[in-house]
Structure 1
């Protein structure tokens, strides 16, 4: 539909120039406010009233007289003070839908200017288990990467894990005390509960001064490149990676780890370059950069700390080094960083310093993609009954268990018998799909309430509802013995009924939705599109017989149903969700 809208804008600009002598008018073609008036609406006549010196209606009449849309639209009509309404010709709509049906990409053209794109997401910390707070970054980032890849961009998916810092001195010292044999035989190490290991080390650190001093010495040894300390650090990292990988496999996440430690050798150069440009200021012994426009609650200038008083580097230093590396070495032209909304000010300041230093130039787009909290049904931060942060692995396991319970209950009510393999596979897919979709369908900038019952419901804007619409099409094919592949490449679709037209127009909007997501990184747009698609398909299915229709209507409606299913499958795949053939 993007190509059609672009062509309409051009035709309107030409008509405005011929009718009123205004070149390059800003024409916006929007869906009609009321479907009974047509498909699309243009209000350029209202915008031109002052410049042209005529009433909007007179301007609209002049534009319509000069419009050349015979192959696309019925005769335009004018409503109200000067709104120009357009209705696409049935033959033109048929051509668009058939072209989309014949296209493996369903009418979505690759980006005209593909970019080397870095998507930084997930980012858990070593020696800590992934928790529900990592869920949003992981699946939002994955969806953004999937959509960018589908649009033809060269995407590098990066996992900026927290694998460096002073806490590793504590962890290494505790590892020496509790698992000394692992320092000579890595195969003997099984930390088990990583969170428990971290907590025990922290309790020891807080209570034992001798241990605290040893931990501090371990930090110095690690940062100095001591072989044994580095070996212990790697053991800890490997234990965490194994736990992370299980979750990534469950969520079907592909990502390349490049943690904080990767950038550690690059930090001195950040300081040197900022100092050479005269951007560093000493404040209370720390080296900082002050950027205009950043202040604290009291209104005092807020510095970005580059090197702390004790000589240690800060998170900002690592983020600046990462930004420089991605621009200079990865050759990124678009950098997307997905973290919680609490880091928005931090990244705004990091980007500002990078621009001030000349590292971030106008030809590179850098975006922080923030997200809100996951809340419990009480409206508070999502936690266990004991007040602990919910482990992501536990949450995903429970989603599958609940999906299985829902499935067993439904099968019993329907009197259906299914194999254990079928039930296990379906519960796994529906449970994970439900968790992903519930998160992605919420506006990422807002908090959202986590509810297993709502996300597993067969009605409403949920993954099971989308899957049900897809499965319904497959059921039509099975019942009618239809091979959809035999319909490919033929101009079979001919739109006649209102519900067919409504469904067809919506199918053609997929390209516009994906292009908008590439601009604002809101995957919820795709969820809304798919939900509305499912609703429109269900309305079409109820209003229009498919298998019982006479030919050629039967084949046309089968192809329209198949195009709907293919669109649902593609859209869900871009959200990281797999379809199923039966529910």
Structure 2
């Protein structure tokens, strides 16, 4: 179905045609919209702004002469205050309701975007530091895909490096340490337990036994040389880790597919060529045996240049070699025109140098947009990075389990008649939604406090508040009996109906803005505004007890469209919407 122009877009076009310039339209407290473009036009033409404004008003049909604008007035030095007709609001919302996409248009010129997010490390437990990259990246990919963009997910897992020589060598000498017991299901907890046991035992041996250390270092050489036996054992660590990763992401309600996982090892075959091309082009030079890229504006505290080290003096490759190879792959092979990196703020300098090096050699051109989307830290209630009492990063699974447990308490208190099975299902939807929303409602660059009591609250800016608003709508629709949602443009709208309707009409514009700036918190903020407007609507406008059958139908229509908007918006944030709470 064709997309539905928003009321603001329709007003923008109508006033622009009458003014002959950009009206600089925005929402207003005095009317529905205010156009500020008259002042600039009058100044350029050396005219009286109020006279120009009066001419625009005269050129615009209003009231019964037009189905869009109810009234327009001049205020101050030439501002235009514009009120949309009730009928136009209802008609536009009806067109949105008739479309599965709620009238949201697909992007006119979709491209291909690679989103690099969710980067756990093989053979290591996932901790709170992996939360934001996973949640933010998942939301951005969903929003971009809904807008029509082709999105390629890339999970750049840590699956390569010197530690694997130690792990593989230990497994050679203790061959049954990763074996599964007969009949055992592939459970993440057991997999992580095995991996953790091997990691700790091999590390202890590596630190205490010089001969084992020597054998481990030789094994690194074998791994990098592609020795079949070494690679096969390395692959066992990767596969065991995937069982664990998938179990955590299943709890987090984020889909991770095998084909999206291209870790550091995925670019091994490109590393030597990447270094050769950089050196031959002069972009990188040898410095004390290492292959480096230098930058005039990046210096250390001593005033000396801080280089990007692509290849170390001993021949080993740094992260830069892998990241530059990934850029080559993503632009040349995947034909991406946008590269997004959802990685914490501490990596800002690294990515600045990598992107500049890639531009210098031409792997990043003017046709390719590349952005590091840095995010802040998850804090404890003490305002410091969230850690356990022992001072180590909190396990991600522990946070997820605790959130579900807290949500179960809230759900039981709300409805004591629910079975434990129903409580468990809803607690997962509410608890995980609470964690995601707390993260996504915070602007990317800011830190936020991990406070489960606040996150699972039924009041305030929480996902539970939004989920409850949706469940309440579903309840009203079930109680409506024979009355069905139906738009009635002929009916006048109460102030709360108008406010809710104008907000619902902004859904497409909101999504377009989020997709352009990659800021999911703006979608979260919009959805909270919708839920808040819905609460006012309920309070001031009885739905099932309205005066006339037509008013009941019209208010059911508004409630239904609000529910669909909340559901679609929360789905794009990766948050479930239970039918009942």
TM-score > 0.5 by shorter chain: yes
Question: Is the counterpart of residue 94 in structure 1 residue 90 in structure 2?
Answer: yes
User: CA separation in 2, counterparts of 1:195 and 1:517?
Assistant: 40
- Aligned with 1:367: secondary structure? strand
1:225/1:466 CA distance change after superposition, 3 Å: same
Aligned residue in 1 for 2:261: 257
Question: Is the counterpart of residue 111 in structure 1 residue 112 in structure 2?
Answer: no
Match of 1:541 among 532, 538, 544: 538
In the TM superposition, what is the alpha-carbon distance from 1:298 to its structure 2 partner? 4.0
Q: Deviations over 1:451-509 (max 9, x none)?
A: 0100000000111100110111111122222585xx47x66784510000000000011
CA contact (8 A) 1:166 1:219 kept: yes
User: CA separation in 2, counterparts of 1:493 and 1:366?
Assistant: 50
1:548/1:483 CA distance change after superposition, 3 Å: closer
User: CA separation in 1, counterparts of 2:103 and 2:304?
Assistant: 53
- Aligned with 2:549: secondary structure? coil
Aligned residue in 2 for 1:568: 566
1:359-438 alignment to 2 at 5 Å?
Answer: 359-411=363-415, 416-438=416-438
Q: Across the two proteins, how many residue pairs are aligned to each other?
A: 564
User: CA separation in 2, counterparts of 1:548 and 1:158?
Assistant: 52
Aligned residue in 1 for 2:216: 215
CA contact (8 A) 1:110 1:152 kept: yes
In the TM superposition, what is the alpha-carbon distance from 1:207 to its structure 2 partner? 3.4
Question: Is the counterpart of residue 57 in structure 1 residue 60 in structure 2?
Answer: no
In the TM superposition, what is the alpha-carbon distance from 1:236 to its structure 2 partner? 0.8
Identify which range, 226-235 or 248-257, moves more after superposition. Answer: 248-257
User: CA separation in 1, counterparts of 2:496 and 2:219?
Assistant: 69
Aligned residue in 1 for 2:175: 180
Aligned residue in 2 for 1:506: 503
1:47-446 alignment to 2 at 5 Å?
Answer: 47-67=40-60, 70-177=66-173, 179-181=174-176, 192=193, 194-195=195-196, 197-255=198-256, 256-411=260-415, 416-446=416-446
In the TM superposition, what is the alpha-carbon distance from 1:66 to its structure 2 partner? 3.6
- Aligned with 1:301: secondary structure? coil
- Aligned with 2:341: secondary structure? strand
1:298/1:495 CA distance change after superposition, 3 Å: farther
In the TM superposition, what is the alpha-carbon distance from 1:300 to its structure 2 partner? 3.4
CA contact (8 A) 1:493 1:557 kept: no
1:492/1:123 CA distance change after superposition, 3 Å: same
CA contact (8 A) 1:530 1:568 kept: yes
CA contact (8 A) 1:107 1:508 kept: no
In the TM superposition, what is the alpha-carbon distance from 1:164 to its structure 2 partner? 0.7
1:483/1:300 CA distance change after superposition, 3 Å: farther
User: CA separation in 2, counterparts of 1:152 and 1:15?
Assistant: 33
Aligned residue in 2 for 1:468: 468
CA contact (8 A) 1:191 1:197 kept: no
- Aligned with 1:41: secondary structure? strand
Question: Is the counterpart of residue 16 in structure 1 residue 19 in structure 2?
Answer: yes
Q: Deviations over 1:523-544 (max 9, x none)?
A: 1111111111111001101101
- Aligned with 2:70: secondary structure? coil
User: CA separation in 1, counterparts of 2:355 and 2:441?
Assistant: 29
1:156/1:52 CA distance change after superposition, 3 Å: same
CA contact (8 A) 1:57 1:82 kept: yes
In the TM superposition, what is the alpha-carbon distance from 1:190 to its structure 2 partner? 5.7
User: CA separation in 1, counterparts of 2:246 and 2:191?
Assistant: 16
CA contact (8 A) 2:25 2:34 kept: yes
Q: Deviations over 1:199-224 (max 9, x none)?
A: 44334333332222221111001011
Identify which range, 562-571 or 52-61, moves more after superposition. Answer: 52-61
1:205/1:27 CA distance change after superposition, 3 Å: farther
User: CA separation in 2, counterparts of 1:194 and 1:378?
Assistant: 32
CA contact (8 A) 1:73 1:87 kept: yes
1:483/1:395 CA distance change after superposition, 3 Å: farther
Return the TM-score normalized by structure 2. Answer: 0.92
Aligned residue in 2 for 1:21: none
- Aligned with 2:158: secondary structure? coil
**Unmatched segments (≥5 aa) in structure 2:** 183-189
Question: Is the counterpart of residue 44 in structure 1 residue 37 in structure 2?
Answer: yes
In the TM superposition, what is the alpha-carbon distance from 1:58 to its structure 2 partner? 3.4
Aligned residue in 1 for 2:187: none
In the TM superposition, what is the alpha-carbon distance from 1:233 to its structure 2 partner? 0.6
In the TM superposition, what is the alpha-carbon distance from 1:287 to its structure 2 partner? 0.8
**Unmatched segments (≥5 aa) in structure 1:** 18-24
In the TM superposition, what is the alpha-carbon distance from 1:191 to its structure 2 partner? 6.2
Q: Deviations over 1:537-576 (max 9, x none)?
A: 0110110111111210000000110001111111110011
CA contact (8 A) 1:333 1:365 kept: yes
Q: CA RMSD in A?
A: 2.1
